Each structure stands twice: as structure tokens, then as C-alpha cells.
Amino acid sequence: MSLEKPVKSHARIHKESKTSRIPGFYRLSVEQRLAYLQRNFGLTEAQLASLRDGKALKVKNAVNMVENAIGVLGVPLGLGLNFIVNGREFIVPMAIEEASIIAAVSKGALMIRDGGGFRTEVDEPVMIGQVQVLDLDDPRAVGDRVLEEKQRIIEEANLANIRMTQRGGGVKDLEVRRIDGGEDVGEMLVVHLLMDVQEAMGANAINYACEAAGPVIEEVTGGRVNLRILSNYATRRMARAEFSVPFEALATPEMDGETVAKRLVEADRLAWNDPYRATTHNKGIFNGIGAAAVALGQDWRAIEAGGHAWAAHTGQYRGLTRYQVEDGRLTGTIGLPMQVGWIGGAVNSHPGIKILRTISGVEDARELAGLLAAVGLAQNFAACLALSTVGIQKGHMSLHARSVALSVGVPPEHVEDVARAMIERGEVKMAVAEEVYRNMMQQPTKQVRANTEPLVESFAPGKVVLFGEHATVYNFPGITSSVDVGLKVRILPDPDGPRFIQPTFKQVFDVPKSDQDMQLFSRAVDRALELYDMTREPIAIEVESDLVPGMGLGSSAAFSAALIHALREYKNLEHPDGFDGNLFHDVQQLESIFHGHPSGMDAATVLTDGVIWFRKGPPREILPIRMGRPLHGIVCLVESGARTIEIVRRVQASRDLNPRRVNMLLEEIGELTTDAGVALGMSDTEEVGRLMFKNHELLARLGVSTTRLDQAVETLLDMGVYGAKLTGSGGGGAVIALVDE
């Protein structure tokens, strides 16, 4: 097959293509991948959540899609990358559970990309409907009568799809076939309605047309009409794709490109002439086509059925792709029936498919048909390449190793390291995975890039709230202090960047929703890269933290400040000493990802690095508190804490129910904070301690303390501290105490 022209021109002007070439995409965390999609395709938070949680299709939707619905079964969803088809970029959503498929199709498309990508040609969207006619004395003569009455039959058939006909579609022609039904049935007539279904897959439309045409065909033939239904052997709706790559693009360390090309041709000849090989060969093609078809809401069963039927159209079952060598290049081609739709069916009823359509770049049914043909060709090319060179098992080894690691219970964050260790040993086995992971857990934690010299390193301290929690939300003052532990951000070179290396925080308790924390950190990195126009920078961002998350110690503020400092230093921007309004504004943008509408108190504290008086305003007040001598405190980690935003909402709900009582407590906290500012300025340790305990009692009455926090405060007071209180939003977390040095 040679495609002398690209797919026929469409009336619409294509939107600007998003690149499908995303180096290192597989090395990004899931959250970074989602952040990339959000940035480039304008996805909403709700859409990201549905992809992240596998809940794009809810049971309430599924009930209306299948009978006897009991739930929804999730399938891994990934992206096939690197596709250029007819000069346009496409990203291919793929839903499949087999590990190597997406990696293989992306590799195949990348190699083909170097040769200019794929060219496709797609037929008009003509589907075939069949009307079976039996009990005929002279089928040949009856067939002639049907052809004579063709226009009448077409007009009757089109009454079933008036709107489609008005748009230019509908039944355009018919043909007649005689089929031998054997001694028990005899010769029968089959009338084919040839219908332009436009943007639809067309099953329902063609079935309606067959039903409508049945009575008039029965009248014309004098026979008995039985079946009236579409054919999934859509030979009038073919999709063809081809590519051509130079020999040098095929070369491996062990083999020159011409040898590789000849081996691919040898593999092709076996698939063409031997149905035992052709079956596996074509199964690989539909690994790709089926996965993409499922993700984009297509009837993958119909596509596969038609494809396998076409594989046997010569009278022998053969491979659907062909390879040949010419003029120092390898060319590959594929052609098969492709019945797809861009309206109707799951395309409209499945919310997740609408998201994936946006990502794909596809704009209509014919474009989709060409892309699916290209996907099948890329998948087959990658498989044949592996078979002809390194062998299929070596190509699968990395993904198989990950599966083995997961199967023995290795946590997801350690799967890559365990898989790599097994491959290096040449033993991908469950027992080896368990041994490797056990040894890994007995070793001290190592930084992912310990041997790489950082380009930039930045530090930001954590913080504690000394006075005024929750009252600050209602514009009363608060007093906070930075602490002498914090968080480091390192920027390292990474040719596949920018990447955010999954951070490991000190964690003395199980932190609820820690996965959500990582999502927020990833989103904050993405936002920071946007702020400084670094979304394509070849860097990795690494975090080392001594702050325990969920303790009210300002880990998100420290992260935001350290990251902003690091990026500014990397870009050689002015690095102000102390508090700076522009710096504060940028840190606040990141903090809003974690806390919605933060007051700014945490950001101001970690940027000031001292004790500050804070009021959110307007106007905002951020004032350093100068003390005559230093005071000393300790932080005690008590229990896993609730999320700040949840506790703030709880106080708000309590205030809505009983405004007089809650406002009185908030005012007392505000007045107490003013007194504490004076005591701190005078370095009056005993008065500061007394006010700390009083502040804790007020917070307990506000409902944000817990039994364990109260017990911790009492224990510390019994031990002789000057004062103690919870710090942060409460609901668990830490307490602080004022002590002698």
C-alpha cells in the first residue's frame, strides 16, 4: 500500500496541536503528569480528581449503561506519546492492564517520529446494513428487481434517520448478494444498505434503516425477510496508515540498521504466510488499537471483529501489517476496517471519555480512525522490532519486574528501586523482590540523587504559633515564631526535567491523606515553575525535610518559601534579605494550593525568621517583636493532626450556630495576644508562660484541642515548664512549652 495523499481535508481549522513529545514523562510522579495535563489542556480540579481516583464513571452513570449493574471496574489508564499523524501531534489515551503496551507503542511512535511520523488515509464513513431475504424461487431474478426498485428502498430506509439525512448522511446506495444457505435453508438473498453515518459509529442508525427497509424489500421480492442488522465487517470504511524510517534510525548497539530492517521484513513474511504467527501478530496490533478505543469510548469489539475478518479476506488468515525495504529505508503499512464514532454511545455518556477526548487532540471520527490505525502500526512495529533484535522478554523485563515487586507488597514509592535491583541481578522473582526490599529497609535512607552536585540549595525554617490561633482568621492578631528546624530544597540537573522527586518527610505518626499531601506538593511545584517560566527547564527538584507534616509546624510554608528562594537563585533574580513583599506574594500563591485562602501568617513567619506580630488586615500587619533576651521553647509531637482547613471550617460552623459564645472566645484570644506581645517585648518569661496556658484553655473551649493535647499540656506543667499550649490549628498535632535554656 502506498498513500499518495493524506487524509481528505476537513472543513474546520484544527486547533493548535499540543506536542506529544514529552521526554521523561514516565519518570514523573502521577501528580506531576496530572499537573502537566491540567496546565496544557485546561482540565478542572474535578476532572483531575476523576482521573486520579478512577471515578470518572460513577455507579449512577453505569446503571444506565448496562443491565444488572453492580459497580464499576477500574482499568489502568495511561498515555501513548510521540505520535505525529499527517503532520499533527496526538496524545493517545490508552486503557489496558498489560504492562508493556503503552511503553512499546510510545517507543515505536518515537522512532517513527524521526522519519516524519505517520501518513493516513481514511475512507468515507460508510457502514453496511444487511437485510436477509428467504423463500425465493429465483434469487437471481429477485435481485434484479431489488436493483430496479433501489431508489424506493433507499427512500424508505432514510425515513428512519431523517435528521442524519438532512445533514447529508443516510443510505446512499445498495447492493445485492446471493448466499448459499445449504440444503436446509436454500439460496438466500442479502440486500446491503450502504449508509453514510457521518460522525457516528453508526450501529443504531443502520439498524433503524434496515428495519425501515425490511417491509418494502419484502414487498419487492415476494420473499420473507428475517435478519435486519448492521455488519461489523465494514469494508467500505477502511483506515490505512504508513511510515518510512531510514536504516540509521533502526540501528542498535549490536546491529546495524539495515540488518534490523531485513529482520523485520523476515518477521513480516512469516506473519503473512503462517496463520499461527499471524494470530499473535494481529493480537499485538489490537493491544494498541483496543486500548485506545476503550479509552476514547469506541466499540473495540466491533473494531477487532472487523479487523480479524479483514485479515482473512484473501482466503487465508494473514498479518494486517506489511514491511518492506526500499531506498535505504524501512516502510511499514497497515489497512483494516475502522468503525468509529465521535458522537453517540459511550462518547457522550461516560464523563471520563470527554476528558480523554480533550487530551487526545482528535477532532472528528475520520481523524480518530486514522490515529487508531497508526497506533496499531506503531504497536506492531515496536513488538516486531523487539522480537527481531533483543527478544520480547528483555523488552518486557523492566515492567515485569515492577509487577513482581508490587505482587509481594512492596510499597509503590519503592517499586522502581526494587525492580532495578532485580534486573541488575538478573533474577526477577518474588523471593528476590522480598529479599531486596527487606535489605533496603534495613539501610539508612539515601537521597535519590546523592551523587549529583546540586545547582542550588535553599533552606526555610518551620514555625510555631505562640498565640492567637483561629482568632487570626477573624482579623485578631497572632504571634508566631520560626524554629531552628526546617526544610531544604535542592535543584539538580536533569535532562528529562522539570521533575519533582517524591519527597520523604519525617513521619513519626501515620499521617491521614498523606497521598493528598503529595498531590498538593506536586501542584505547588508546577505552579512555581509557571511563575518563573520554567516549565521546560532541565532540572529536578529534591526535598529534604526535618519537619513532621500534620503537626502545625508550617511544612507547607517552609516548602513554598524554600522552593521560591531556590528558583529565584537558579534564575539569578534578586535575592532580598529578610521579608520582601514580592517574595511573600509568590509564597502565598503556593500556600493557597495547600490551604485555600491562607491568612499569610505562616508565609510571613518563615520568611522573617524570628518572632512576629501578625494581623491579616487590611492593612496587613507584619511586625518583628524585639525581645530584651532570648526565650527558649520546646516542641512536643503528640498525635497525628487534622487538616488546618477542616478545623477552620469546624470553628466557622460553630460560630454560625452560636455566634455570641464563639465571638467572645475569639475576642479573649485577641486581647490575650496583645498582652503576650507586651510580655515578650519585656522578656517576661513567667507572664508569657501564664498567657500560653490561658490561650490553650480558650482554644480547648473553642473545641480545637483534644484529650491527648490537654494531657500533654498538663504533663509539661507538672514537669515545671513556664507555660504550654497546642500550636497550630489543633485537632491533634503538637504542643509547645516555654522552658529554661
Q: Cα(303)–Cα(320) distance, rounded to whole angstroms?
A: 13
Q: Of these residues, 8, 10, 58, 283, which one is catalytic? A: 283
Active site annotation includes 283: yes
Please choose, from the candidates 360, 526, 368, 356, the residue with its C-alpha nearest in 3D space to the C-alpha of residue 18. Answer: 360
Q: What is the crossing angle of helices 392-407 and 430-442, to 10°?
A: 60
- CA 557-652-603 angle, to 5 degrees, is 15
Residues linked to residue 133 through DSSP beta bridges, in sequence order: 189, 225
Active site annotation includes 98: yes
State how far the alpha carbon of 513 is from the alpha carbons of 33, 453, 498, 559, 646, in Å: 20, 33, 26, 18, 13
Element (H, E) at 739: strand 733-739
State how far the alpha carbon of 620 is from the alpha carbons of 513, 601, 623, in Å: 32, 10, 10
User: Are 227 and 192 spatial neighbours (Cβ–Cβ below 8 Å)?
Assistant: no
Helix (H, G, I), strand (E, B) or coil at 618: coil
Please choose, from the candidates 525, 531, 529, 521, the residue with its C-alpha nearest in 3D space to the C-alpha of residue 585. Answer: 531
The full 3-state SS of 647-682, as one line of letters, equals HHHHHHHHHHHCHHHHHHHHHHHHHHHHHHHHHHHC
Q: Cα(639)–Cα(656) distance, rounded to whole angstroms?
A: 29
Q: Cα(428)–Cα(99) distance, rounded to whole angstroms?
A: 15
Element (H, E) at 542: strand 539-545
Q: Cα(327)–Cα(247) distance, rounded to whole angstroms?
A: 10
Q: Cα(557)–Cα(462) distance, rounded to whole angstroms?
A: 8
Helix (H, G, I), strand (E, B) or coil at 147: helix
User: Are 100 and 402 spatial neighbours (Cβ–Cβ below 8 Å)?
Assistant: no
Tell me the backbone φ, ψ of residue 205, rounded to 5 degrees. Answer: -60, -45
Q: Of these residues, 107, 308, 396, 725, which one is catalytic? A: 396
State the cell numbers at 96: 489496558
State how far the alpha carbon of 43 is from the alpha carbons of 34, 534, 690, in Å: 9, 20, 51
- CA 373-376-379 angle, to 5 degrees, is 150
Element (H, E) at 122: strand 119-122
Active site annotation includes 18: no
Q: Of these residues, 199, 299, 542, 668, which one is catalytic? A: 299
Q: Of these residues, 8, 10, 58, 98, which one is catalytic? A: 98
Q: Please, what sign has the CA dihedral across residues 517, 522, 527, 528?
A: positive
Q: What DSSP string describes 496-516?
A: T--EEPPPEE--SS--TTHHH
The residues annotated as belonging to the active site are 98, 283, 299, 396
